């Protein structure tokens, strides 16, 4: 009742610094003689020499509260601007750029979000991220929201 195990093809990695029995010498174990690399791992920030500033140190430092926040926020379109669109039309980036409400390049780069400032008098189908207050106003006017935020 002996099961045959599959043969392993990959050899296990030589573990350095574990004596002669490890198969990678003893003493210096393939690390050379003296120096930074023989004693421990070299830090991530280290880039070769002390005089040259590392890449991370060369990057500009952002100060203040919002230093970890992203800079890219969506373009804001208020509801009163949507009155420029024809009734019962679909509101997406293409329709907003055709009617000159937003710029094409900026809309594709940052995205567009509809906020509920102003009144809407037309039935529209919204296919963009939208605030809750704007969604209520559009549904009240008889429109519908396909994709909310």
Residue 35 vs residue 149, higher pLDDT: 35
Number of separate domains in the chain: 2
Asked if residue 102 and residue 48 are part of one domain, the reply reads no
Asked if residue 89 and residue 53 are part of one domain, the reply reads no
In angstroms, what CA-CA distances link 61 with 52, 67, 70?
18, 9, 14
**50 found inside a domain:** yes
* Domain at 95, CATH number: 3.100.10.10
- Residues 15 and 121: their CA atoms lie apart, in Å, by 74
- pTM of the prediction? 0.53
- What is the domain extent for residue 48? 16-59
- What is the mean predicted confidence (pLDDT) over 73-98? 92
Report the residue count for the chain.
149
Q: What is the pLDDT of residue 57?
A: 76
pLDDT digits (tens, 9 = 90+) for 19-49: 787 777 778 887 888 888 888 788 777 777 7
* pLDDT, the chain, mean: 85
- Decide if 100 contacts 118 (C-beta within 8 A): no
- Residues 50 and 18: their CA atoms lie apart, in Å, by 32
**124 found inside a domain:** yes
In angstroms, what CA-CA distances link 42 with 11, 27, 36, 37, 45?
27, 20, 7, 6, 8
**68 found inside a domain:** no
Q: What are φ and ψ of residue 72, in 5° steps?
A: -85, 110
């Amino acid at each position: 009742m002996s099961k045959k195990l599959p043969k392993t093809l990959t050899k296990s990695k030589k573990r350095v610094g574990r004596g002669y029995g490890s198969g990678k010498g003893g003493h210096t174990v393939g690390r050379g003689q003296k120096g930074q690399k023989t004693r421990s791992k070299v830090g991530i920030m280290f880039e070769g020499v002390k005089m040259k500033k590392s890449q991370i140190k060369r990057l500009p430092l952002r100060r203040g509260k919002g230093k970890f926040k992203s800079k890219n926020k969506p373009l804001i379109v208020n509801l009163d601007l949507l009155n420029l669109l024809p009734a019962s039309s679909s509101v997406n980036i293409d329709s907003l750029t055709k009617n000159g409400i937003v710029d094409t390049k900026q809309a594709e780069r940052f995205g567009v979000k509809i906020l509920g400032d102003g009144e809407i008098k037309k039935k529209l189908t919204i296919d963009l991220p939208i605030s809750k207050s704007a969604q209520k106003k559009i549904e009240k006017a008889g429109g519908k929201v396909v994709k909310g935020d």
